[in-house]
Amino acid sequence: MSSAPCVAIVGVTGAVGQEFLRVIEQRNFPFSELRLLASARSAGKPLTFKGKTYKVEELKDTSFKGVDLALFSAGGSISKQYAPIAKDAGVAVVDNSSAFRMTDGIPLIVPEVNPQDMKHLKLGKGCIIANPNCSTIIMLVPVTPLHRAATVKRMVVSTYQAASGAGYAAMMELEEQSRQVLVGQTPVCKIFKQQYAFNLFSHNSDMQPNGYNQEEMKMLKETHKIWSDNKPRITTTCVRVPVMRAHAESINLEFEKPLDENDAREILRKAPGITLIDDRASNRFPTPLDASGNDDIYVGRIRNDISRDDKKGLDLFVSGDQLRKGAALNAVQIAELML
């Protein structure tokens, strides 16, 4: 585009919507006009951004006239209703929901992994691009450079997912339940069916007939689409943990070719979007507090799998901010590829 785009943020009052604003400001993403859109109950709410006060507008069919880019984070049902309307109005939509991730013809993008899948898309031309699941992004940023080096045959992943993944209300529930438990009160469960404070439980997404929950199946299916390769075998276990912000994952990889842990460490050190915290002597490795508020995926516990004798196995522990690289940052990076 010859001039800065008109940008709309759909779901601006939510946790990811607010993170969109922070990322746009921090990365100095160009815009000529900014439209802040949300539900009717939020319409008229004032929001200050870069020294200017905006009023939140109600999301309507007519909201996208003159808009070049729309960042969506308002849930799958809203995306299914309004993203096609925006696309038909000539808007480039980057959608953070699961609504279009597995739709044929709609790119599913992690900029460090598969930017080539959207090279034909530009702002000012109507399109929809899907932002992957947060756990998939956090996993694939470090695993992909290793996959390119030695080819992943099988991946076993366990996630430790923070309240931020379930939105602002879940974060507030964890905070309130923690207060209640510490003073001897029975914690009130509204967002989750089980006590969240000082507890952990299987991810709250819907269980599937095969015994996996929806979050676990997303990681498998999305990885195959992003890599354009269905051969890697993937199994996942996703768990909610009482952490406010930033997910962590334990990852075991089986490769087609040997990959020494020292070579893997150097590959990751040079890869974009990664910070290594891998200090064995001090037992210092990535934590959610390291990742919170930061852009990179933090990687450590890099070691060859001692259950194998062929150096074709590797273990990693990673952590990434679900609201940033797992959501808002990844979406803005996608938009930057279209500038």
Domain 135-322 sits in CATH at 3.30.360.10
Look at residue 1 in the predicted model and tell me its pLDDT. 57
**139-187 tens-digit pLDDT:** 999 999 999 999 999 999 999 999 999 988 999 999 999 999 999 999 9
Alpha helices (H) along 191-304: 214-227, 261-270, 288-291
Look at residue 86 in the predicted model and tell me its pLDDT. 98
Look at residue 125 in the predicted model and tell me its pLDDT. 87
**Within 13 Å, how many C-alpha atoms sit on residue 46's CB side?**
4
The catalytically annotated residue of 127, 203, 238, 247 is 247
First to last CA, the chain: 7
d(CA 190, CA 281): 43
Strands (E), the chain: 6-10, 33-38, 46-49, 52-55, 57-58, 69-72, 92-95, 127-130, 152-161, 201-202, 233-240, 247-255, 274-276, 297-304, 313-320
Q: What is the DSSP letter of 114?
A: -
| pLDDT mean across residues, the chain | 97
pLDDT for 225 beyond 60: yes
pLDDT for 107 beyond 60: yes
Reported pTM: 0.95
The catalytically annotated residue of 6, 127, 134, 238 is 134
Q: What is the mean pLDDT of residues 72-96?
A: 97
Q: What is the mean pLDDT of residues 30-56?
A: 96
Look at residue 317 in the predicted model and tell me its pLDDT. 98
Q: CATH second-level architecture of 6-131+327-337?
A: 3-Layer(aba) Sandwich (3.40)
What are the residue boundaries of the structural domains of the chain, listed by start?
6-131+327-337, 135-322
Tokens of 76: 């799958």
Tokens of 151: 């080819």
**How confident is residue 216, by pLDDT bands cut at 50, 70 and 90?**
very high
Look at residue 2 in the predicted model and tell me its pLDDT. 59
Q: What is the mean pLDDT of residues 6-15?
A: 96
**How confident is residue 245, by pLDDT bands cut at 50, 70 and 90?**
very high
Q: What is the mean pLDDT of residues 265-270?
A: 98
Share of the chain above pLDDT 90, in %: 97
Q: What are phi and psi of 229, to 5 degrees?
A: -155, 115
Q: Minimal CA–CA distance to 165: which of 59, 45, 249?
A: 249
Q: What is the mean pLDDT of residues 70-84?
A: 97
Active site annotation includes 134:
yes
List all residues 6 or more positions away from 185 whose beta carbon is below 8 Å from its beta carbon: none
